[in-house]
A and B are shown apart, each in its own frame.
Chain A
Amino acid sequence: GQNIDQPTEMTATEGAIVQINCTYQTSGFNGLFWYQQHAGEAPTFLSYNVLDGLEEKGRFSSFLSRSKGYSYLLLKELQMKDSASYLCAVMDSNYQLIWGAGTKLIIKP
């Protein structure tokens, strides 16, 4: 079956760096997405990786290793507003998105 795994919850300190991991097993691969979702709100797009390596976008970076079925989202200079759930999703060979359960990130002052 298809599976996306990510930690349920993480805690980090304001100003610090946190890495949220995502491992996947899917039928084919057409890219991996990261979304941010604040409580009770809609997910918003953060990044898309289809080739191996690191994509940097401001304070957020996303890494992909297709051979290992692994990605991470790196958040630097954490701010209180970064408290949210972070959703990992993989697009399979049929261009359907398979979603992880999300990682709830708690930022402490």
Chain B
Amino acid sequence: DGGITQSPKYLFRKEGQNVTLSCEQNLNHDAMYWYRQDPGQGLRLIYYSQIVNDFQKGDIAEGYSVSREKKESFPLTVTSAQKNPTAFYLCASKTGDGDTGELFFGEGSRLTVL
């Protein structure tokens, strides 16, 4: 079945460590996104990519990095520079960034910093 797979679902990290969250899609979508969700707030865009080997910063990119070496994959690295990384992270994709199609979401990764 087509969809978006995020891993791991739960992740614990010590302060000062970098972690990488995986996002893979087999929907043949060009556009991929990373969002952060905190209680009481709307989804906030971290990074997005419209095409392979290209990506743009979203509203809260500081302390995060991404790569888009393959169409199917858009991993997110949460670096030690991110001051408050504990959150629920959602990866999403859609056909193209400039269209009005719906977003398809992965199941999310919950990161907790100890």
> Which A positions have Cβ atoms within 8 angstroms of B?
4, 8, 30-31, 33, 40-45, 48, 50, 87, 89, 91, 95-102
When the two chains form their complex, are residues A96 and B45 in contact, meaning their CB atoms are under 8 A apart?
Answer: yes
Chain B interface mostly: loop
- Looking across the interface, which residue of chain A has its beta carbon closest to that of B6? A42
A-B contact pairs, 13 of them (CB 8 A): A40-B108, A40-B110, A42-B105, A42-B106, A43-B90, A48-B100, A48-B102, A89-B43, A91-B100, A97-B45, A99-B42, A101-B40, A102-B42
Chain A interface mostly: loop
When the two chains form their complex, are residues A87 and B42 in contact, meaning their CB atoms are under 8 A apart?
Answer: yes
When the two chains form their complex, are residues B100 and A30 in contact, meaning their CB atoms are under 8 A apart?
Answer: yes
- Looking across the interface, which residue of chain B has its beta carbon closest to that of A88? B42
- Looking across the interface, which residue of chain A has its beta carbon closest to that of B42? A99
Interface size class of B (residues with CB under 8 A): 20 to 34
- Looking across the interface, which residue of chain B has its beta carbon closest to that of A45? B102
Measured between beta carbons, the chain A residues less than 8 angstroms from B103 are 33, 43, 45, 97
Return the 10 tightest CB-CB contacts between A and B, nearest first.
Answer: A99-B42, A42-B105, A45-B102, A99-B43, A101-B42, A31-B100, A42-B107, A95-B98, A100-B42, A43-B105
Instruction: Please measure, in the bound complex, the distance between the C-alpha atom of A89 and the C-alpha atom of B90, giving whole angstroms.
Output: 15
* Residue B30 interfacial (CB < 8 Å): no
When the two chains form their complex, are residues B107 and A41 in contact, meaning their CB atoms are under 8 A apart?
Answer: yes
